[in-house]
Amino acid sequence: MHANRNEKAVKRVERGMMKANRIRNLFAVFAIILTTFMITTVFSLGINYTENMKLMQVRTAGTTADVSLAMPTKAQEQQIQDLE
């Protein structure tokens, strides 16, 4: 800020404006806090929803395997055991 002789007057006006707008400033701070909380909540719910849907799909299928063999041969059983 440029140096001037009425710096005290500017500070006094600024202090008066801060006092006059105190309620508005408090509402602005409250709105920012509430918005942050709401955004965090929405993302948390979305992430948990997708994780739960994946878990429900696995439980519905009954297994985490991608393929099932109805009547595997001994060679196929041996290949599967070698993978583990």
Assess whether pLDDT exceeds 60 at residue 1: no
pLDDT number for residue 59: 84
Q: For the stretch 53-62, what's the b/e string if a residue is b when 16 or more beta carbons lie within 10 angstroms of its beta carbon?
A: eeeeeeeeee
Assess whether pLDDT exceeds 90 at residue 38: yes
pTM metric for this prediction = 0.53
Assess whether pLDDT exceeds 80 at residue 63: no
pLDDT number for residue 62: 78
Interior CA angle at 57 toward 79 and 41, to 5°?
Answer: 130
pLDDT number for residue 2: 67
Are the C-beta atoms of residues 40 and 47 closer than 8 Å to each other? no
pLDDT number for residue 40: 98
Domain range annotation of the chain:
7-83
